[in-house]
Amino acid sequence: MPTDGGIIHLNTPAGSSGAGRDVTQVTTRKDNFAAGVDRLLMRSFHRRMPASFRELHDERASFDDVLAVTAIDRRRTPADSVYAPGMRTVWLRSGDESILSHVRVRLSPDPTAPLVIFHHGFSEMPWYNSWQRIFRQMPGIPVSTVCIQAPFHNHWREPFREAFRSMRRVYQTFAGSIRLIELVQRQFEANGAAWTVVAGVSWGGVTSMLYAGQFGGVRAVVPMLSSPNLAQVVRDGAALAGETLPISAAELDELLDFTPRCTYDPDRVFPLLGDTDFFFSPDRHAANYAADPVVVHRAHVSALYGVSPLRAHLYDALAWAETHPLRDE
């Protein structure tokens, strides 16, 4: 299927030559392989979830309560701590628990340059992989960009062992990232950043939408290979693993479908989905957005390495945001 920068053109006919058929066959094999990797990893991810997470019917966690008790630990994270280039350490507190996290900062020489806050996918290792690949080529305008590390992503075993230990822990992972994004936006705008865009892939896309829905104040939010309905992903993973979940679909939606929390001005939401993505397929997740997502020719995992359509989409959203200020700016 012909593409332009990864964006699908459904009305372009395939060539009739032998070479054209060879290209089509090669593309089909690549697509099948990429989709197979997605299915394999989704099944693996589901089976790696701790047994404690499967006790969903016993969970009494509240996302609002977890977010309310999660904060930056000011004793261990000095003021203006993330407004400097390189890897920055940030400590969070959730009740009596200390949580270590980090951000990676690429600081523009222009202090008034806009800010792009980016969040990685679940269990993405290194956690700055897709961010680093996307921003290897910078946009046409000067920007500062910061990559947020989710809690419990300091070691490859940690995401499943900790982030999916319980529903409360899932909420804690999101809440910690939201507080980190809040800290970064506040510090950069206090130092002169003109405006902010938040973006993310997969789990990071959910986080970006949650942040925009919770706090607003961003010119655009760019969730890629993602949707707010994490409940659907868990259902699909369980079905692929041949497992029956212990609660009903409605109960799971109440716990993990964040769509009602992610309401934001639809003109400022720029979703992107992959046509062969098995984690967040367009047929199961496009309806979670008020506007039609851009669909690119990518599977889920392979898109984190072949990032050109993600980069183009994010930079298009950034260019739009440059000329569309918020009302209170």
Please tell me the predicted confidence (pLDDT) of residue 28.
66
- Amino acid, single-letter form, for residue 78: P
Instruction: Give dist(CA 111, CA 142) in Å, integer.
Output: 10
pLDDT of residue 4: 36
Among candidates 182, 155, 149, 167, which has minimal Cα distance to 72?
A: 182
What digits encode the pLDDT tens for the residues 20-62?
445 344 456 667 777 788 888 888 887 787 777 777 655 677 9
Which residue ranges form the domains of the chain, and what is each CATH number?
3-8+19-322 (3.40.50.1820)
pLDDT for residue 243 is more than 80: yes
The confidence score (pLDDT) of residue 57 equals 58
Higher pLDDT, 49 or 207: 207
Is 119 within 8 Å of 101 (Cβ atoms)?
A: no
What is the separation of C-alpha 6 from the centre of its chain, rounded to a whole number of angstroms? 19
Distance in angstroms (rounded) separating the CA atoms of residues 150 and 183 = 14
Which region holds residue 93: left if phi is over 0, alpha if psi is between -120 and 50, else beta? beta
The pLDDT of residue 43 is: 83
pLDDT higher than threshold 90 for residue 95:
no
Q: CB 63: neighbour CB atoms within 10 A? A: 20
The residues, any chain, with a CB within 8 Å of residue 46's CB and separated by 6 or more, are 234, 237, 238, 240, 241, 243
Task: Say which residue, 103 or 2, is predicted with more confidence.
Answer: 103
**Dihedral Cα 27, 30, 32, 37, nearest 10 deg:** -160
Residue 213 scores a pLDDT above 80: yes
E runs forming strands in the chain: 3-4, 7-8, 70-72, 86-94, 97-106, 115-119, 144-148, 196-201, 220-224, 272-274, 294-296
Tell me the pTM: 0.89
**pLDDT given at position 9:** 32
Please answer whether residues 55 and 246 qualify as being in contact, where contact means their C-beta atoms are separated by less than 8 angstroms: yes
Token pair of 205, please?
């896309």
272-274 vs 97-106, strand pairing mode: unpaired
